[in-house]
Amino acid sequence: MKKTGNILIIIGMIFTIISFAGLLIAGIVLTVYSSPDNKAEIMKGLLDGSITSSYDGTVSEQADAILTLFKVLGIVFFILSAGYCIAIFVDSLSLKRSSTGSYIAVIIVNVIFFNILGLIGGILGLVDDKQ
């Protein structure tokens, strides 16, 4: 069962690495696009209808709100990618140590980041470690 658990942890780790890369790229794109230099492009999109906003206000206020949203989402994505980086570290550490504590850490981290495969792998490793 421990071998199956480790395989699931590895598959979950691959998912975590892909998620980390996606969040990092999205954070970079949103942070770069939240630059005030892009306000004119957003205002143009709001005026011609290619960008819609439910925010009531002038076009300039809507553009400012969109830029703020991009900036906040970029920061949130950077924070999430840092968390996924910690999850990758914990998963790889558990594969090296294979101890009860490391499997508990894997379970906690994978619950936080909704990684079902890593969670099941941690549970299988913990159950096998108890026997």
Give pLDDT tens digits for 105-123: 888 988 888 888 888 888 8
Q: Is the pTM of this model over 0.85?
A: no
> What span, in angstroms and rounded, lies between the C-alpha atoms of 91 and 12?
9
pLDDT at residue 129 tops 80 = no
Q: What is the pLDDT of residue 52?
A: 86
DSSP 57: S
> What span, in angstroms and rounded, lies between the C-alpha atoms of 60 and 9?
48
